[in-house]
Structure 1
């Protein structure tokens, strides 16, 4: 729980969000619009932690870069901004994984969890850090941790390698809605890819994937076959397989590759009965096209 008001930050221009939120019982928490921080791992068993400057809330402890959200700012944007300001974390150097939310009713703290997409060295970019270090996972508990981070760390640690992956059988999903897709299969596939790209950017609710926490950003693979292979390209956040032969075989191969890579849960979107049995035998979960449309 937030503690009584500590010494404030250095003077200077502030956003309206840089103020105390006050609960019904008088409890104060920093961030009028809530707060957010970034927990990023390097993919090699280390996480980036910040040794907090003495004047800050719970100064002298170790936690993650973060702070008050700005007015009108979502939690992910706030966490990425704060980590850039405090630790020099490149915004384009982090792949989002999931978010965890502590909700006190009058105030929220969102831990945005990501993985470095490329190596970078943290830089003390403002007055809020004594040190910034990549800490091995098995050494985190050896540090004097910020109480809030310390309480959340065990659950966050357990999920650090969890990597959900959604494989979409495009032919089955497109064919599930009689909207004239057969007149322009490539165009219909392009619209599907645009929808997948939007979901890749926004993430999925945790319960849609049967996972804990708040929201997840799974890996996405879409399998196209036949004339649909002429669909427009999309961003790098969606892997597109343009099957030369059987689309079903390509879906099975993509599923097997995801399972072999250690991704889990692997969710295949299709209503094809035989295909559902084939990917289920690989250990994948199956959702129908209706599930996919509900996410949009």
Structure 2
């Protein structure tokens, strides 16, 4: 493997700057891959319009093909951050307009390409904002293969399309999880629950491995629903951007967890319930959910 800097005629970042990641990785057989630290792209999914594709200009690598807005990662930049930054630069995707759902990684050992699949939560019109885009378009999922696709995207599309219907969710029995740690939670249940929400917010931001959820791909960003009851209902609502939502049980916490699990499964979610309560586990497993104890949140 060798690293080759871009030629003077190749695209530059805004204001003519170059990032150390803007270089070719050349395999022993001469195949070139863009991005010294790998590359990442965004597959934005709109429920009404399909997926956002970029028509690449003729002079670009595999020009005149359709693929995803994306590009080289910066050093120490996460795949998710790189995909969102590149899609903003190349397609004008607004910050906060999409919510990450999963990351699928092509790992060639010398180079990686990470596809961030994200749901559009605020509809937007893409804008050609750099010279690499000839056209940007929302393409219905069933019509994607009608376009002349970038070879890399064409190879990954069947697997990515198969993942589009998969939407995981995690329901957390807050009382059970908080009660599993003897940290004085009984003196301040709302405070202890608030600390749990902060912890879950970090998990929501980083995502969970596919192995932990029993799903394909590499990293998932499930919906998080935390059911609170009793005095813990006084806990403050976490920020909407955290990806964690509170469900305040009006009566039995167990009944609320069962109801929330049933609602999510009916909506097509793949549901994981976090609790060590045996009776509750049996009830939600009968609905089709997978259960794990509180230590699962720590990766155990």
Whether these two folds match at TM > 0.5 is yes
* Contact 1:269–1:286 (8 Å) recurs in 2: yes
Q: Partner of 2:292 in structure 1?
A: 287
The whole-number CA distance in structure 2 between the counterparts of 1:108 and 1:136 is: 27
1:247 counterpart (227, 250, 253) = 253
Aligned residues: 291
The whole-number CA distance in structure 1 between the counterparts of 2:229 and 2:11 is: 59
Task: Please give the root-mean-square deviation of Cα atoms over the aligned residues, in Å.
Answer: 1.7
The whole-number CA distance in structure 1 between the counterparts of 2:6 and 2:49 is: 33
* 1:235 and 2:239 matched: yes
Q: Partner of 1:270 in structure 2?
A: 275
The whole-number CA distance in structure 2 between the counterparts of 1:129 and 1:27 is: 23
* Residue aligned with 1:232, SS: coil
Q: Which runs of 4+ in 1 moved over 4 A?
A: 4-8
The whole-number CA distance in structure 2 between the counterparts of 1:228 and 1:288 is: 20
Q: Partner of 2:111 in structure 1?
A: 107
* Contact 1:49–1:133 (8 Å) recurs in 2: yes
* Contact 2:102–2:217 (8 Å) recurs in 1: yes
* Contact 2:5–2:23 (8 Å) recurs in 1: no
**Alpha-carbon distance, 1:28 to partner:** 2.4
* Residue aligned with 1:78, SS: helix
Q: Deviations over 1:3-23 (max 9, x none)?
A: x99975245321111111233
Q: Partner of 1:121 in structure 2?
A: 125
1:13 counterpart (7, 10, 17) = 17
Q: Deviations over 1:31-79 (max 9, x none)?
A: 0111100001102261000111111110001000001112232111111
1:256 counterpart (247, 252, 262) = 262
1:160-199 maps to which residues of 2 (within 5 A)?
Answer: 160-199=164-203
CA 1:245 to 1:160, structure 2 compared with 1: closer, same or farther past 3 Å?
same
**Alpha-carbon distance, 1:128 to partner:** 0.5
* Contact 1:5–1:28 (8 Å) recurs in 2: no
* Residue aligned with 1:91, SS: coil
**Alpha-carbon distance, 1:294 to partner:** 2.2
Q: Deviations over 1:243-290 (max 9, x none)?
A: 121100110111111011111x20010111110111111111111111
* 1:147 and 2:148 matched: no
* Contact 2:103–2:220 (8 Å) recurs in 1: yes
The whole-number CA distance in structure 1 between the counterparts of 2:189 and 2:285 is: 28
* Residue aligned with 2:139, SS: strand
Gaps in structure 2 of 5+ consecutive residues: none
Q: Partner of 1:132 in structure 2?
A: 136
CA 1:248 to 1:10, structure 2 compared with 1: closer, same or farther past 3 Å?
closer
Gaps in structure 1 of 5+ consecutive residues: none
Q: Partner of 1:212 in structure 2?
A: 216
1:20-99 maps to which residues of 2 (within 5 A)?
Answer: 20-44=24-48, 46-99=50-103
* Contact 1:56–1:128 (8 Å) recurs in 2: yes
TM-score in terms of structure 1 length: 0.94
The whole-number CA distance in structure 1 between the counterparts of 2:207 and 2:138 is: 26
Which stretch of structure 1 is more off in the superposition, 21-30 or 252-261?
21-30
TM-score in terms of structure 2 length: 0.93
